Amino acid sequence: MNQASYIVDVDQNNVHEIIQLSLKVPVLLDFWATWCQPCKALAPVLEKLANEYQGRFVLAKVDTDANPTLSQQLGVRSIPALKLVVKGQLAGELNGAQPESEIRRLLEPFVGAAPEQQEPEEEGDEFTIQIQRARAMGAFDQALQALQSAIKEQPKTLEYQVLMADVLMDMDRLEDARQVLDNIQDEKIKATAVGRLFFLVELQGFETAESLQYRVASNDKDVEARYFLAANCVLAGEYDAAMELLLQVITLDRTFKEDGGRKALLKVFDMLGVSDPRVAPYRRRLFTSLH
């Protein structure tokens, strides 16, 4: 199935065909409008997922301004809204700007994991793999002790020091993590950890991602909600959604947090690295928004 087949536009003329299609493959209806900023932030996330799943579900986009009757018939009260239709029946729905992880949770019971998420290869040496497994199990104290011993034996292995900073952040020991990172002179090797620490500090004591999603969906000029929801997205590994939100912050208010949107977006670029294919197009969009 080519991309044209699994990302389609829906209107009154083809909606019945799309519902019939759901008898063969799950259909995710995306209700959006051109004026809706949260919809614009959500769009690249949805397209990314559609491309990852490669036709195991169809992304069906409904412009609510062009199809008000259809939107009303399908029970849409606010946008963005997502409705998953399986075998002609509503199987689940999400309202408001949602992180990628929530959309995956909606899809996976019906379509499984995306191809590149199946059986991921673990990266790094055997010791690093063991530490990552310990982190995944929540065994932070054991991971920290093992890293302290390894760093004593191999003080020049900077990857272990960065990994220690990550474990300290897992434990919410942010100041200790900062001290570890400050002692590492290689800016490139620590860029992702430094960015993670920045966004963790930003979010200290702030409201939940769910609350921020509601605010973003309810108010297309809520700069604060967009900034802090972007921080949540970065920490969840949802970089595309984060960058879209930060571009909105820059467009809406350059003075927020003293040009905080631009500074945060540059942090994301550093975390991804210059070789990441997403960085160049977002740098161009940043340049356009500034000029």
Q: Pick the closest to residue 223 from 202, 243, 198, 252 (CA basis).
A: 252
Query: Torsions phi, psi of 134, nearest 5?
Result: -60, -40
Catalytically annotated residue among 36, 43, 74, 233: 36
d(C-alpha 250, C-alpha 265), whole Å: 9
The owner of tokens 């002790």 is: 145
Question: Edge-to-edge strands of the sheet including 27-32?
Answer: 7-10, 58-63, 27-32, 81-86, 89-95
Q: Pick the closest to residue 194 from 225, 154, 153, 158 (CA basis).
A: 158
d(C-alpha 83, C-alpha 98), whole Å: 13
Bridging pattern class, strands 81-86 and 89-95: antiparallel
**C-alpha separations of 193 from 88, 110, 155, 173 in Å:** 45, 35, 18, 13
Q: Pick the closest to residue 37 from 220, 199, 185, 204 (CA basis).
A: 220
| SS3 assignment, position 20 | helix
DSSP annotation of 25: S
Q: Is 233 a catalytic residue?
A: no
Catalytically annotated residue among 18, 21, 28, 39: 39
The owner of tokens 């083809």 is: 14
DSSP annotation of 8: E
d(C-alpha 73, C-alpha 64), whole Å: 11
CA 89 distance to own-chain centroid:
28
Which residues carry out catalysis?
A: 36, 39
